[in-house]
Amino acid sequence: MDFSFTPEEEAFRLELRSWLEENLPEGWVDGGSNLEKDSKEYELFLRDWQRKLHDGGWAAIAWPEKYGGKNASLMQEIVYHQEMVRVGAPPLVNYVGLHMVAPTLMHIGTEEQREKYIEKILTGEEVWCQGYSEPNAGSDVAAIQTAAVKQGDKWIINGQKVWTSFGHMADKCFLVTRTNKFEKKHKGITCFLLDMHQEGVETVPIIQMDGEHDFNEVYLNDAIATDAEIVGEVDEGWRVIIALLMHERTGIGAQVFTLEKQFNELVELAKTLKEDGVPVIEKQMVRKNMVDLYMKSRGSLLNYYRNLTKALKNGQPGAEGSMDKLLVSELTKELFANSISLQGHQGVLWKEDAVAKDSYWQDQYLYSFGQTIGGGTSEIQKNTIAERILGLPKDMGR
**Active site positions, annotated:** 248
Instruction: Write the Ramachandran bin of 169: left for phi over 0, alpha for psi from -120 to 50, otherwise beta.
Output: alpha
| Helix ranges restricted to H, the chain | 7-23, 28-31, 40-56, 74-87, 95-96, 102-108, 111-113, 119-123, 237-253, 256-272, 284-314, 321-342, 360-371, 378-384
What's the Cα-to-Cα distance from 87 to each of 5, 81, 83, 225, 248, rounded to whole Å?
Answer: 20, 10, 6, 41, 23
What DSSP line would sit under 343-359, residue for residue? Answer: TGGGGG--GGG-SSGGG
Task: Determine the straight-line distance between the first and last CA of the chain, rounded to whole angstroms.
Answer: 40
Burial state string for 315-348 with b = 16 or more CB within 10 A and e = fewer than 16: eebbebbbbbbbbbbbbbbebbebbbebbeeebe
Angle at 80 between CA 61 and CA 14, to 5 degrees: 105
User: What is the DSSP pairing of strand 128-131 with strand 172-178?
Assistant: parallel
What is the β-pairing status of strands 147-151 and 278-279? unpaired
CB contact at 8 A, 92 and 50? yes
Do residues 69 and 102 touch, judged by C-beta distance below 8 A? Answer: no
Please say whether the beta carbons of 342 and 270 come within 8 A: yes
Q: Which residues pair with 154 in a beta bridge?
A: 151, 226
Q: Fill in the DSSP letter of residue 130.
A: E
- How many angstroms separate the Cα of 255 from the Cα of each of 30, 248, 249, 252, 304? 22, 12, 10, 6, 10
**Is 122 in contact with 153 (CB distance < 8 Å)?**
no
Amino acid at 49: W
